[in-house]
Amino acid sequence: MRITSALVDPALLELPWPTPLEDWPADHLVALPQGISRHVVRFVRLDGTVYAAKETRERIAEREYDLLRALERLGAPAVEAVAIVADRVAADGEHLEPVLVTRHLQFSLPYRAVFSHTLRPETMNRLLDALAALLVRLHLLGFFWGDCSLSNTLFRRDAGAFAAYLVDAETGALHLRLSNGQRDEDLEIARTNIFGESLDLQAAGLLHEAIDPEQVSDEVVRRYETLWHELTHEEKVEKDTRRNMERRIRRLNEMGFDVEEVSMSVVDSQIHIRPKVVDAGHHTRRLLRLTGLDAEENQARRLLNDLDAYRAESDLADESQAAHRWLTEVFEPVVRAVPGPLRRKLEPPELFVQIIEHRFHLSEKAGRDVGLAPAVQSFLNDVLVHRPDEQAILGYDADDDDSEETVSPEL
């Protein structure tokens, strides 16, 4: 047996590698919902970290491992590759296929779990937005996916929206940049896959009656095109170049994208400007820099709004000082106010965002600001207790339940 890994967790060595994944004993496994896949995928927990193990052919495992590592270096939203375990030999001398180990994406939902009941069309739209944005981000980085689909994507909640992550990079390829032809090809693959998956959902009665499968797949493509255009189109400006340029950059930042450089050219005495968008995560990066909190883009936007309001109210000129005070005097006490058993329901940034939202609604109803502390209490007592336990839904049972069948893939 041979393990290739950037950072081998010695606990990985304890797993029963000479046994085919299909026959792994339940005591190593964690029951988590998973998407539809050709390969056998198993989830295991070692020292509190959950990993996904996928049995696949040698070439494919290596390729996917390298691609996922490259995507990680580029900051792309994808699952993290941890190791390849190759040269597995069973007790009877039979050679077993290598295993690709990735870190399980916490709080993530495969689309089957998101669709465990019929979604309102509005929720569906947010899901499609997240998927389109993921494909745009990957294309901006020069990544051709080759198999974009709902089941090759994982979704995390993000302040009322979703953030999408790539989970299956097997068919991908990284280029310096993608041609329009390559992007179109990738989009067509996505369209076909998503159409098929929507038909399946419809057959299972999980698609809202107002939603047509063909419309779903066309909609992803349309959303992709709109976003791509917004991010990359060349703008003709007559005058006020500087202001126009600033406005465009600000709009892109607002949408969560960072601009690295702007190219300008003069054609027939008209100025053309085109920004080079580097990546999404504008607010995520600012929040991380200021507070060390790692949140999704929309969560980060909301948290930063709260932080900025706090800074204005407390008259603190220094941004990092204000951020530190906000973190220790506002954010952390709110998170700590959640009693242990309720902690697994939502991850801290999402919890905080929902509390801000709750405070807003309570205040609207009362016709005055109800204040943070009463809003927290009301959220815990009236809202959070009634919520399904998101981590338990995802299989992390309170009492370390690891029997394999407790959660069905369809939930």
Ligand X SMILES: Nc1ncnc2c1ncn2[C@@H]1O[C@H](COP(=O)(O)OP(=O)(O)OP(=O)(O)O)[C@@H](O)[C@H]1O
Query: What is the C-alpha separation between 201 and 325, in angstroms, rounded?
Result: 47
Q: Minimal distance in Å, beta carbon 279 to ligand X?
A: 21
- In the complex, residue closest to ligand X by CB: 35
Per the structure block, which two tokens stand in for 93?
């001398």
How far apart are alpha carbons 337 and 322 in whole angstroms?
22
Residue (19 or 37) nearer to Mg ion, CB: 37
Contacted by 354, from ligand X, Mg ion, none: CB < 5 to 8 Å by type: none
Nearer to ligand X, 63 or 359 (CB): 63
- Smallest distance, Å, CB 150 to Mg ion? 10
CA separation for the pair 111, 216 (Å, rounded): 14
Interacting residues of 56 by C-beta distance below 8 A, sequence separation 6+: 39, 64, 97, 98, 99, 100, 170
Q: How far is the CB of 100 from ligand X (least distance, A)?
A: 8
Integer-rounded Cα Rg, in Å, for the chain is: 23
By Cβ distance, which residue is nearest to Mg ion? Answer: 168
Q: Which is nearer to Mg ion, 37 or 116 (CB)?
A: 37
**Which of ligand X, Mg ion, none sits in contact with 45, Cβ below 5 to 8 A by type?**
none
Closest CA to 263 of 280, 248, 285, 279: 248
| List of residues 6+ apart from 96 with CB closer than 8 A | 17, 18, 20, 55, 88, 89, 90
Nearest to 211 by CA among 123, 272, 273: 123
Give 237: exposed, middle or buried? Use CB within 10 Å, 0-12, 13-18, 19+: middle
What, of Mg ion, ligand X, none, does residue 298 touch, CB below 5 to 8 Å by kind?
none
CA dihedral 297, 298, 300, 301 (to 10 degrees): 120
> Is residue 178 within 8 Å of residue 135, measured between CB atoms?
no
Picked from ligand X, Mg ion, none, the partner binding residue 38 (CB below 5 to 8 A depending on kind) is ligand X
Residue 130 near which of Mg ion, ligand X, none (CB within 5-8 Å, type-dependent):
none
Closer to ligand X by Cβ: residue 97 or 279: 97
Q: Which is nearer to ligand X, 39 or 272 (CB)?
A: 39
SS (H, E, C) 285-327: HHHHHHHCCCCCHHHHHHHHHHHHHHHHHHCCCCHHHHHHHHH
| Closest distance of CB 151 from Mg ion, Å | 6
**Interface with Mg ion (CB under 5 A):** 37, 152, 168
Q: Least distance in Å: CB of 39 to Mg ion?
A: 8
CB of 41 to ligand X, least distance (A): 4
CB 321 within 8 A of CB 291: no
Choose the one of ligand X, Mg ion, none that binds residue 104, judging by a C-beta under 5 to 8 angstroms depending on kind.
ligand X
> At its nearest, how many Å lie between ligand X and the CB of residue 338?
25
Residue 407 φ then ψ, to 5°: -125, 120
Alpha carbon distance 270, 266 (integer Å): 5
For 274, the token pair is: 């085109």
Q: Which residues of this protein are in contact with ligand X, per CB under 6 A?
A: 34-35, 37-39, 41, 52, 54, 79, 102-105, 108, 110, 151-152, 154, 167-168, 170
From the list Mg ion, ligand X, none, pick the one residue 338 interacts with, judged by a Cβ distance below 5 to 8 Å according to partner type. Answer: none
Name which of 171 and 244 has its Cβ closer to ligand X: 171
Closest separation in Å from C-beta 260 to ligand X: 29
Between 37 and 253, CB nearer to Mg ion:
37
The listed partner (Mg ion, ligand X, none) that binds 291, CB under 5 to 8 Å by sort, is none
Distance (Å, rounded) from C-alpha 217 to C-alpha 207?
13
Q: How far is the CB of 212 from ligand X (least distance, A)?
A: 24
Q: Which does 41 bind (CB under 5 to 8 A by kind): ligand X, Mg ion, none?
A: ligand X
Residues linked to residue 257 through DSSP beta bridges, in sequence order: 280
With CB under 5 to 8 Å by kind, the binding choice for 102 among ligand X, Mg ion, none is ligand X
Minimum distance from CB of 395 to ligand X (Å)? 10
Side-chain half-sphere of 166: how many Cα atoms within 13 Å? 32
Q: In this complex, which beta carbon is closest to Mg ion, that of residue 52 or of residue 277?
A: 52
State both tokens at 112: 């089957």
Closer to ligand X by Cβ: residue 100 or 227: 100
Q: Compare residues 168 and 186 and give the one whose CB is closer to Mg ion.
A: 168
